[in-house]
Structures are given as C-alpha cells and as structure tokens.
Amino acid sequence: MSQARSLNRRTVMLTSIAAATALSQFAAATASATPDSAKELLKTLARGDAKEGKIAIRAPEIAENGNTVPVTVTVESPMTDKDHVKAIHVVADGNPNPGVASFQLTPLSGKAEVQLRVRMASTQKILVVAEMSDGSLWSGAREVKVTIGGCGG
C-alpha cells in the first residue's frame, strides 16, 4: 500500500512537472512578435532588404474589433511579362505569429492587388514587401489601432 502511494505521488509530481513545462512553452509561443522579428521574417521571406515605395496599404485607421480587419495591398506595376510583381508578403508586427500571408503572382494576375482579413491582437503595424520580376524589393507599412484584440488578447 505504501508503494502505491509513493507511486501515485511520483506520478502526480511528474505530471505536474510536465504540465508546468507545457504551460511555459505555451506562454513563450503566445508571446507577441516584435517589430524587429517581423522585419527579420520579411527579410527571410523576400530574401533581402527592401526599399520603401510602390506599395499602398488600405486598412482602417481604427479597428473596433481585431477579429477581422480588412486589408487591401496594391503594388504599382504594369504586370507585363518583363515587369511584374512575383510575390507579396504580409506580416503584422504585434501578433503572436507575425506571418500573415504570402501571395504568388504572375502577369496573368492582371493587377498587383490582394485583399485579406487579418486577425490583430492589438494596435500594430502591417508590413508588406513586394518582390518584383527584376529582383527588386519594395516595402510599405500601415499602423492600425485596435480597440478589442482578436488574438486572444
């Protein structure tokens, strides 16, 4: 009988340690991105540094609810075989996971514009990088003030 109690205590102790470890990993995973980590993610996705310009980001200045914030990204481009947008990468610098979306485009896309809805935890910047067919990278940013967070915040 005493062995059963000690085994139960041991099981409870190991279970408690495992639960504490899982909670600490969950807390680390749910930490918000930083502006620097979002910029680093964009550098990784687009493989380089981008110049500012050519990108227009339409989003509300104030989003009353961060669950679905409408965002439209437009890139200046004639979208011809020789001059077109190859990819558009979107990140949010205050969300638990900064990566929002990446879009691949071709001249057949007709227009370099994407629309999406972003879940935002708090007031933050939406950062965008566009990869052009000539290899150049262009960036843009827009801050959105969120009154009620949509990422569990």
Give the H or E element holding residue 58: strand 55-58
Task: Mark whether 85 and 60 lie in a shared domain.
Answer: yes
> Can you give the pLDDT at residue 94?
87
Count of the separate structural domains present in the chain? 2
- The pTM (predicted TM-score) of the whole model is 0.74
Question: Which residue carries 């020789």 as its tokens?
Answer: 82
Residue 6: pLDDT over 80: no
Phi, psi of 37, deg, nearest 5: -70, -35
In a domain, 21, yes or no: yes
pLDDT given for residue 138 in this prediction? 96
Q: Does any domain span residue 151?
A: no
pLDDT tens-digit profile of 130-143?
Answer: 999 999 999 999 99
Same domain assignment for residues 26 and 40 = no
Of 152 and 72, the one with more pLDDT: 72
* 88 & 18 share domain: no
Q: Is the dihedral of CA 11, 17, 21, 27 positive or negative?
A: positive
List, for residues 74-120, the tens digit of each pLDDT value: 999 999 999 999 999 999 998 888 899 999 999 999 999 999 999 99
User: Does a structural domain hold residue 73?
Assistant: yes
Per-residue pLDDT, 87: 95
Residue 149 has pLDDT above 70, yes or no: no
16 and 52 within one domain:
no
- The per-residue pLDDT for 7 is 53
What whole-number percentage of the chain has pLDDT above 90?
54
Instruction: Note down the domain range covering 19.
Output: 1-30
Query: What element of type H or E holds 28?
Result: helix 2-29
Report the alpha-carbon distance of residue 85 to residue 106 in Å, rounded. 7
Q: Looking at per-residue confidence, does 46 or 139 come out higher?
A: 139
26 and 38 fall within a common domain: no
